[in-house]
Structures are given as structure tokens and as C-alpha cells.
Structure 1
Amino acid sequence: MAEDLSKGNRRDPGWKYNHLQNPNDTTRVTCNFCGKTTRGGINRAKQHLIGNFRNAAKCLNCPHEVRDELRNYMEEKKLRKEVYTNEFSGFDEFDYQDDVGGEDEVQEIIHKKRGRGSFPSSTSKKLAKGKGPMDVFLQMQGTLRQANIKDSCDKEARAMTIQKVARFFYNNGIPFNVARSKSFKEAIEVVGRYGPNLKPPSYHKLRVPLLRKEVELTNEIINKHRQEWLKYGCSIMADGGSDRKQRTLINFLVNSLYGTVFMESIDASSFVKTGEKLCELLDRYVERVGEQNVVQVISDNGSNFVLAGQLLQRKRRHIEDIGKIPNIKKALQRAIALIGFIYGHSGVLNMMRDFTKNKELVKSGITRFALSFLTLQRLHCQKTNLRAMFTSDKWMISRWSKLPKGKSIAHTILMTTF
């Protein structure tokens, strides 16, 4: 019997991707992709191939199409089992009460209980005269076919719906990245929850009452940020850039422990090159947020912003260049020397990547004024790996460890105040 089963005399598709090492033991099944043997028959083996089951570790070598095939098979099998269980479990006998009447008369299938639950309500429907349990089963099969048709209709309805949404984007020139917006997804969800017959807002409502209400809600959010500014202080951030029309825009944001809030975007094309005008702009935001709440003002490091910062320091005496504070200045100088040495020697750079598992110490393509402090953060995160590198035999026997610069860098890394 076991010998016959081991030769694949099975309908379960799981046997296409598994086999028995011992024909006499059908509980131990071996995976064809990774060679792992599971205990629990073909069902456990399928769980191993599909993954995300507590009883079996996921096969990392199983192709996606095989995983999808087995998952669909198990879901269909589960559905068939549930339907059969719900409709026929606990049915030991059927008794038919014939009623001699016209064609409109019906009869009921009555369940003779044996200490179990009564006939399920979903199947206690009245059937045409003379129908038996097989008729009930065929009726359920028809219900399943209707469900499949409904699923097909749902797919078609969804395809048509999202096509309409896409056309709305195309016809109105809406940027595609709007689809990534959280508010766009929330709008789609609430429309779906509302259901049919939702009337869209009119031009007037969008332009006046709804806009006014949104401004009120936004002010409430900003007020919550202001409460945090009063408690712990905040940072004013001015970030400049150019749009498609080559206008110079400066975005003003305020950051605190509560989060970051966008305040305003200014068209600074006419005065961006003038340090005095930029200083007036920065000073206006310091006043708007509250001088006592401002911990720092972060801006670009262009010459115009540098001049604006110097002028702002003269007016606001408690504001100073963070890069010139002695402790921070010394830390930045050491970091620059360390990064310059590592990235200036390809051998040291490769060694560093081995110890940090290919994690870089400098990230390119980010805002320049934040680069120094993000680099400090990365150095701190990689502290353990860098110390392991500069105390390893690989470093000790390298020619770079004999260089005066290499010795200085190693000393910096191994400082207790790193």
C-alpha cells in the first residue's frame, strides 16, 4: 500500500514538489527544492512550501508560481470542506415529510438529532417536493458557481472604477505621486465606506466652506505644535530650491519633538541673492515662532544664507553658529579627518565596508547643510564596528596602520569620548 503511494498515485499537487525518502513512512515528506524533511504528511509539506504557517518553516527556494498554485489549491479545498461541513455535519438521517398538495406545496428536510446542533439555518430552506440530500448538495454547488460569477463581476467593477480614477488624474494633469499621498488613500477609503449615491462637493463648497473648515482644522494642528514649542523649543528650517519655472522658492518648516509642520513657501526670486533680505525673512519667522522658543535656525550653506545668518546673530544675540561651538567644532573636525582618511584609501574603504557590512558613513544626494550632522550620526551608529576594525589583526598588519595619519585616526576611534 505504502509502496503504491510512494510512486505518486495521488491527486494532491503537493506531491509534484515533494517525495518520500522511505516508501513505508508516509508521514515524513522531503521537499524537492531545499531537501528539508517535514513530519506531518503532505499537508505539512505544503505549508513548508507556501510559508507563513506556525507549524512549518518557509522554504526559501520555492518558486512563486509553485507557492501560488499550492496556496490556491489549499484555499479551494478549505472552502469545499467548510461548505460540506456546514451543510452536512451532524446529519445522521434524513426524514422526508411528504405533503400531498399542489405544485406550490413544499417539504422540509428534518434533521434527526443525535445530541448535536439543529439543522443549520442556511440549509433549512424549503425545497421542491421530492428533493433529497443530493439535491441539496447540487443546490450548494450552484451557490458556489454564483459566488464565482460574483467574484468575476467584482473584478470587472474594480477595474472600471480604478480606470475612472486614473482618467481623472490624466484629464486634470494631476502628478502621479499624488497616488502615494496618505490623504488620497483616505479619500478613496471613505468614499468606499459611504457607498453608492455620493454626490461630489460643488465648486463653491470646495472654494469657500470646505476650505475654511480645513484652515480651521490646520490651525488646530499647528496650535498643538505650538504647545510643544513652548515646552521644549523648536528648530526653524529654511530649505531653498527651484521649480519648473526657474523660480527660487524657500520652504519654511518648524521641527520639534511633536513633529515637523510646514509653515509657508516664499517666492524669493527677486531677493534670494541678497543676504540682508534673507535675514529679514529669517528674523520674521523667529518672531512668528517666538524668539524664546527657537533653539536653532537651520538654513542652506550658500554665501547668501551665511551672510543672513551672521546678520541674524547680530540682532538676536543668543543665536550663534552651531558649527563654531568649541566642542561641536572639534567633533566635526575629527569626523572630517576620519571620513577623509577612510574614503581616501581604497584599501581602508574596503576594510571598513567588510566590518560595517557595506554600510556607508556618508550618504550622497542629501541636503548639504545636514550632511555633517548625519555623518556624525552614522559614525556613532557604527562605533562598535569601527572600533572592531581598528583593533583587528587585519588593520594592525596593514601598511596604513603605520602611517602617522592612520595612527591619529585609530586614536580618535578608540577615545572614550568618541
Structure 2
Amino acid sequence: MNNPSTDTPPPPPLKRNSNDVGWEYGLLCDPRVPEKVRCRLCGKEFSGGVYGMKEHIGHLNGNVSACPMSSKEDQEKCKNSIMEAKEKKNKKRKHEEAIRAEVNINKNSNVEELEKELGPLKAPHFQVWARVDTSYSVSVKEPLLNEEKQRTKEKLKALEEEWDREGCSVMTNSWTDMKRRSIMNLCVNSRGGTCFLSSKDASKDSHTGEYIFNYIDKCIEDLEAEKVVQVVTDNATNKVAAANLLKEKRPRVFWTGCAAHTMDLMLEGISKLHGFAKVIEQAKAVTIFVYAHHTTL
């Protein structure tokens, strides 16, 4: 006999809180996977979201198979919805192009003509902007860039003097940008603050321990080894291998695992324990449900 206190009723069907006609025919299969939908008519499950559902119901060739249960009325409704969305998108694009054409300024016009047309906008910051965006741009950009370069050099000089007196730490991390490129960064930290040192695109390279060690070791050479007190990385296996190579070549330099990454790994391990995993999954489901139905709150 089933225990009523432990039996959990099946969750109700999930539907996006949206006026899109596609949701008349589709349901979310899983609140954690918003692109995975199920057809109400034939029961087929597929990825593609509400747009794919309308293709499915409307018998439109392309990404999904046609629904064998949709009526002519259903098909026309979904086809019209897709066509209306495309027309709306085209109108918006044409409107934006018209606006850009209206405000297009002849880049060959000089600053005096531009100021005459715009009348009272005589503030110094506006005049700098005008000169940057007209034929006089080079005469303004170059001094501004040189001024910023000099200011950066002065700040860097103060940090370098501190590195000579007290030493510094080299910090490395890697991340992936929106174009799926793997970027590696090196920074130098001391009491005066953190300074960016270098960055490289390592997309085509294998991130072995030796590869990372060579990258860090060259940085230490450039800074002068006697200034470097420690190297800070995350706790990935390849970083640990790089640390072992570093200890062999430079035993006076400490390797330190990133405290934030260490805590992240600890929390990840805790989250996988049975007592916590179930609660976390439930919390995720609630969060996704709220985001999917936020207009009603």
C-alpha cells in the first residue's frame, strides 16, 4: 500500500504564459529546458520552442515534422502567426533604416558648420565630441590618447616601485568569450592594487600543465623573478600540474589555489549530496516556473 505522505502527485502541464498562438498547441516538457516542447495534438516531443511548434502544426517544411492531427484551421492559424511575425520584423528593420538615414551627418562637414546647425550646444564636452566625429578628429584624439597613456604610465610606475620594495603576486585565469574563443589572462597583484599584464587567445592550443607553466614562467621572467612572491590559479588539474613544474624550477615562488574556486568546489560537492540535491532541483524548478510566468505576478 502506498504511503500518502511520500507519494507526490504528477506536476500539472507547463505552458508558457504567453499570448503566442503556438502555446495553444504546445506544452513545456521540462521547466528546466524551455526549448523542449510537446504537441498537445499528437504528443510528439522536439526542440525548437514555440516557433518550432507553429512549424509543426502549420505543416511548414524545415526544422520539424508535420503534425498528423492538425486541422486546416490549425495550420492556417499557425502559418498566419509566422507570417505576421516576419512582417513585423521587416517593418521594424525598415523603420530603423529610415531613422538612420534621417540622422546621417556628412562626415566631411567641418566643426563650425555642425555647431551652426545645432545652435546652443556650445558646451566644451560637446565641442570635443564634435571634433572627434568630424574631419578634425585626429587633432583631438591624439592628444587625448597621449594624455591617457601618460596617466596610465604614472600609475604603473608607482606599482612597479612597490613590486621592487615588497614583491607581487601573479594571477592567471581563463574564460570563453561569445565567439567560443578561449582567452587566458595574466594579472599582477600587490598592496597597491591589481594590474592587467597580458592576454592571449589560446583557442587552438591544448591547455596542458606544461603549456600553462610556460605562459606563467615567461611572465615571471618579464617581471624579474626576485619580485614574484606567489602565483595564484584555480584548482583545475592542469593548473595543479603547472604548479608542480613551477615548484621544480622556482622553489622560492609559492603556488596558491584560488580561495573563491576552492569554496565553489566545496559548495558544488555539498550540492550533490542527496539531502541537498533534491531541494536544489526543486528550487530550480520553482525559479524557472516563476520566470516563465512572470507577467502574471
TM-score, normalised by the number of residues in structure 2:
0.41
Larger strand proportion of the pair: 2
Higher Cα Rg, which structure: 1
Specify which structure has the bigger relative contact order, considering alpha-carbon pairs within 8 angstroms and separated by 6 or more residues.
Answer: 2
TM-score, normalised by the number of residues in structure 1:
0.30
